[in-house]
């Protein structure tokens, strides 16, 4: 059955539709979705899953300021109408 395999490869190509830069960052990051969808919400979590920041968005990009956070690894969850993506961001 080829169905699930196709959906897996589709999801991985969807994953490329979210760009977060610069990464690693010294504080400010830009989150851009380029699959034609707007971002509904961006959530920044620490590595244990605690929500540190949550923003409602209605655009295909947003700039976030992480300078108040400790250096380390963070997860940025990007939610669109159709999907959600989680990316790792290194704050140095």
For residue 7, pLDDT beyond 90: no
What one-character DSSP code corresponds to residue 2? -
52 three-state secondary structure? strand
H/E element, 58: strand 51-59
d(CA 56, CA 78) in angstroms, rounded, equals 10
Instruction: Look up the pTM and report it.
Output: 0.81
d(CA 61, CA 9) in angstroms, rounded, equals 24
The answer to whether 20 and 64 are in contact (CB under 8 A) is: no
The answer to whether 33 and 62 are in contact (CB under 8 A) is: no
d(CA 45, CA 15) in angstroms, rounded, equals 18
Summarize pLDDT for 13-55 with one digit per residue, the tens.
445 789 999 999 999 999 999 988 999 999 999 999 999 999 9
- Give the model's pLDDT for residue 15: 53
d(CA 32, CA 61) in angstroms, rounded, equals 4
């Amino acid at each position: 059955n080829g169905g699930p395999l196709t959906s897996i490869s589709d999801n991985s190509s969807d994953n490329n539709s979210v760009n977060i830069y610069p990464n690693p960052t010294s504080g400010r990051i830009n989150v851009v979705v380029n699959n034609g969808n707007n971002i509904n919400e961006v959530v920044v979590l620490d590595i244990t899953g605690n929500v540190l920041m949550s923003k409602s968005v209605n655009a295909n990009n947003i700039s976030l300021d992480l300078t108040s956070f400790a250096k380390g690894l963070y997860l940025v969850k990007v939610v669109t109408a159709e999907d959600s993506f989680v990316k790792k961001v290194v704050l140095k």
